[in-house]
Amino acid sequence: MIREALEYLIGLGNTRIENVGNRIFSTQKIYAVEEPTPATIQVHSLSGLFDYLQSKFDGDYPLMVHIKSPTEVIAFTSINRDSNRDEFIKASAMLPSFSFDRWYDTEDFNIKLQSCFVKNEDRDIMLKVVGNIKEEAVSTIGDNGVSQSVVAKTGVATVANVVVPNPVVLKPYRTFVEVDQPESEFIFRMQSGPKCALFEADGGAWKLQAMKNIKAYLERQLETEIQSRKLVIIA
């Protein structure tokens, strides 16, 4: 029945289909009419994602939630007859901007430390060092290849050599703010100017931890949907 219908439609344009061996050929190119898929809803938080999933706004479909990266999560259906999926919603994290492997002057670096990193002990130590560096003495920086020392204010009217902490353990905002930010090691370096830079030193292991944190968060929030076996979460 389907073959006859195709032959009829093709015949309207004077197109023929032929069997050659075990293959089918046509004299003109024809195109399959694919099943339509919905436009993807874009949100910028995990809260928006699970609010949508709990609402069942577009129906009570079985869904898979895929944590693609520390900053992107999507929810989609199983494949349709054309092997396409309905990707209902995508959450993309909105994060403050900080460039690793880039040199900042001390004022900008001070601001970035306070606005792009979660408060912890090493961040506070770095703020003290960066905020008190004597600009006229940066040429006296000492470096043994691992740690550095700079001339910095140590009191109201005194200066002294201060060791720059290295490596430092920090928690930059790198994933959705609803989950705990992964903690990892960084190399903190300074150069004349004075300028400061951070270099990642964990080989990207923080990404796996961030995705685990997202998965744990969504499993808590969507426990009912998971138990109903209509929702699967993968990372």
- pLDDT tens per residue, range 51-77: 999 998 988 889 999 999 999 999 999
36: in domain:
no
DSSP 8-state assignment for residue 180:
P
99 has pLDDT over 80: yes
Q: What is the mean pLDDT of the chain?
A: 83
110 and 45 part of one domain: no
15 and 58 part of one domain: no
Q: What is the pLDDT of residue 209?
A: 96
* pLDDT-derived band at 200, boundaries 50, 70, 90: very high
For residue 165, cis peptide bond before it (omega within 30 degrees of 0):
no
| Alpha-carbon gap, residue 148 to 28, rounded angstroms | 72
129 and 166 part of one domain: yes
* pLDDT-derived band at 157, boundaries 50, 70, 90: very low
Q: Mean pLDDT across the stretch 151-172?
A: 63
15 and 89 part of one domain: no
174: in domain:
yes
Size (the chain), residues: 235
Categorise residue 203: left if φ over 0, alpha if ψ from -120 to 50, beta otherwise. Answer: left
69 and 8 part of one domain: no
Stronger pLDDT, 96 or 11, i.e. the higher one: 96
Domain enclosing residue 117, as ranges: 104-202
* pLDDT-derived band at 139, boundaries 50, 70, 90: very low
151: in domain:
yes
Q: Mean pLDDT across the stretch 205-229?
A: 92
Number of domains in the chain: 3
**Parallel, antiparallel, or unpaired for β 231-234 and 63-69?**
parallel
Q: Mean pLDDT across the stretch 206-233?
A: 92
8 has pLDDT over 80: no
53: in domain:
yes
Which residue reads 């130590």 in tokens?
A: 125
Residue pair 77/88 in contact (Cβ under 8 Å)? The answer is: yes
| Alpha-carbon gap, residue 24 to 18, rounded angstroms | 6
| Alpha-carbon gap, residue 33 to 53, rounded angstroms | 30
